[in-house]
A and B are shown apart, each in its own frame.
Chain A
Amino acid sequence: MTVDLEKVNSIIEKYRDDREAFIALLQDISAEYRYLPEEVIRYVSEEIEVPVSRLFSLATFYTSFRLEPRGEHEVQVCMGTACHVRGAPRMLDKVTQKLNIKPGETTEDKRFTVETVNCVGACALGPLLVYDGKYYGKLTQWKIEKLLEGSNDEDDQSS
């Protein structure tokens, strides 16, 4: 895979005087590509003269980083405590059964990536999931069914 390194250069430039800000730098790269491509990490390591091992270590330690491309849609099921006691595990089961993948994985057709998050701070609405940045609260298995199916035929998902 080849990536457009010009964007990377401008991100590197942004942190030129802030040599310890590796995490911020990786976050910006991650926001740009929606994951951390190996090629980019290696390139950044050369440019900022930091061992690749250190960047690789950071990329695997912090959960906001992914080394694999994400799917078109991101489904994050909240597994916070409030959601847990309100049935989040069953909701997660439903999502993973429906899409036939495990949390952290992407469907074969690259349409969905499912992740778990440790609380999004909307506990009054639990159990809930975040679908492409939008919160769907007071979930039921029916709602999940509709949400994930709705996106298949490009219908309005908010119904």
Chain B
Amino acid sequence: MMKMTSPAELEKYRSSILEGIDSGRPSVSVCCGTGCSASGALEVVSAFERLLEEKGIQANINTKITGCHGFCEQGPLVLLSPGNRLYCKVTEEDVDDIIEETLLANRVVERLLFVDPVTGEKIEKEEEIPFYKKQLRLIFGDNGKMVPTDIRDYLSLGGYSALAKVLKGMGPQEVIQEIKNSRLRGRGGAGFPTGLKWESCDKAEGDIKYVICNADEGDPGCFQDRSLLEGNPHLVLEGMIIGAYAVGASQGYIYVRNEYPLAVKNFSTALEQAREMGLLGENILGSDFSFNIKVVRGGGAFVCGESSALITSIEGRIGEPRYKFVHAAEKGLWDRPTVLNNVKTWAAVPLIINRGAEWFSEIGTEQSKGTMIFSLTGKVNNTGLVEVPMGISLRELIFEIGGGILEGRKFKAVQTGGPSGGCIPEGLLNLPLDFEKLAEVGSMVGSGGMIVMDETTCMVDVAKYFLSFTQEESCGKCVPCREGGEHMLKILERITRGEGEERDLELLKEISDTMQCASLCALGKLAPNPVLTTLKYFPEEYLAHIKDKKCSAGVCKELIEYLIDPEACTGCGRCLKACPTGAISGEKEAVHILDQEQCIKCGNCMEVCRFDAVSVE
């Protein structure tokens, strides 16, 4: 690859790529994001490669292995152009039909189309599927259009034009002003105005400055940062280069979760390609600006998503947060001025530069501009990654984009913001999603996790789950988080065992208050959120556990019983075989009996019963 020595040269190269693209040539994009890969996308890819070669037409068809398209529920996904047709749940066996019918004869393979669960209608085009229709995929949309490991794909979609624009005629101050005007706020959780952060780093004294990309996506149920890095690494990289130019940093770091090997690989490839082309390294695009990036793999600690802990981790120490009376922008990595932003924040930068602050600030709400990518998961029909303008309501997100609740069950709550967020009840579903509104109800945007819960989710159990998560991930440095969190967890364990007392609820609130006020870092300060919001919105569930010793969701083992309905049981023997303790007895074709004494409440029987004869109470 040729080294570009000026923005003009880059534009020339881009034109040559665009000229070489035959827009009429059919192309196949197979989503190979984590979800699709786990459902067999790689086998689909090899089937395409094999069959196209066998048929001798591999040269006529462009096959792309792309990053995540977002609609994980329907994976493996195959997107075909021309026509932007989306095929869902594709298997190896479908590939021959796709080639023969769609690619060669331009006919639709009906059975692979998405079926609207409400209307039963088959939908052909990606953009017409309700899941995609309401989205505004500014940052995430290109994932399906490019091979993440090929910089030419990124260039063909306008990549690095923002960098070229900046180097051609925008001073660092102008870039900072543009970001300030866009009113972009940090997408990592706290929502701090990005432009202000850059400005204070720029003003801070020091000849060595750093920029860091926080890709330590530790929130369980969140995978948007991963999908961006895997599917469009150059976008994040371009944002970082522009940021470094603006604040005058010569070295950057990206801190990626160790559990994301493909993200590390694709981003590293992107770095190499950018270096080769003169977009990274010494004298970028022939300018005076030089900048480099190192990839740091995280060691596996949620707390390292906290900025000061992440910085100490890059410095090679344990991820212990520090008090932040002096901001990282003034004194961060190795005590030098440092800008630390989340993956999604960096990814928004090239867009703002290209399309202007004014355009960006028209999207979203008064206080929260632009789009946000959420990981919509849990008991929702359409699990996946969704990018929506700030301000969309929870109801639209869950019921229109998300397609409602699994198995037609009743919605109970949605948890946003990961383990530090809160559980929001049905009554607040019309809440517009932005930083302020979510904070008002005791939750947060956080890194964009959104876990939907239904009537089979026990809210006390969920609070216990999140607290045990934050306890396991607490660094253990400060007393309120380490000891306070541990005591709260013990109380919740008691309640879910049916050993709780009413005064425990007051104690939970008191300890929460101390943790919120006195913990050293955000992990400890926010850890009580799931407990406080469930106490606030679902007090009756706590009381049912404490007073009636009942778990209506059928989750808390000590408080439930599995029952076999003699009317429905056919005596097929499946549950009898599945029971690990021999608690179920009964002759073939006679009603089976469950001995509560021997039952360990593993739920095997209910899972295997084909006649809905096993219930939980």
Contacts and interface: CB of A to CB of B under 8 A. Distances in A.
Interface stretch (B96-104, B202-210, B295-303, B542-550): B295-303
Interface string A50-70: 000010011001111100000
B299 A118 contact: no
A79 B608 CA distance: 22
Contacts of B223: 119, 121-123
B301 A61 contact: yes
A97 to B, nearest CB: 6
B602 A94 contact: yes
Contacts of A22: 316
Interface residues of A, number: 45
B299 A61 contact: yes
Contacts of B35: 121-125
Contacts of A62: 298-301, 318-319
A146 interface: no
A118 B580 contact: no
B299 A65 contact: yes
Contacts of B10: none
B383 A117 contact: no
Contacts of A120: 34, 259
Interface stretch (B437-445, B449-457, B484-492, B512-520): B449-457
A122 B319 CA distance: 26
Contacts of B538: none
A85 B38 contact: no
Size category of the B interface is 35 or more
A23 B602 contact: no
B472 to A, nearest CB: 8
A81 B300 contact: no
B34 A121 contact: yes
Given A120-B259, A124-B383, A85 B457 contact: yes
Nearest to A90: B603
Interface in A122-140: 122-126, 128, 135, 137, 140
A20 interface: yes
A81 B578 contact: no
A107 interface: no
A82 B315 contact: no
Interface string A79-93: 111111111001001
B604 interface: yes
Contact of A82 (B298, B300, B317, B451): B451
Contacts of B316: 19-23, 58
A45 interface: no
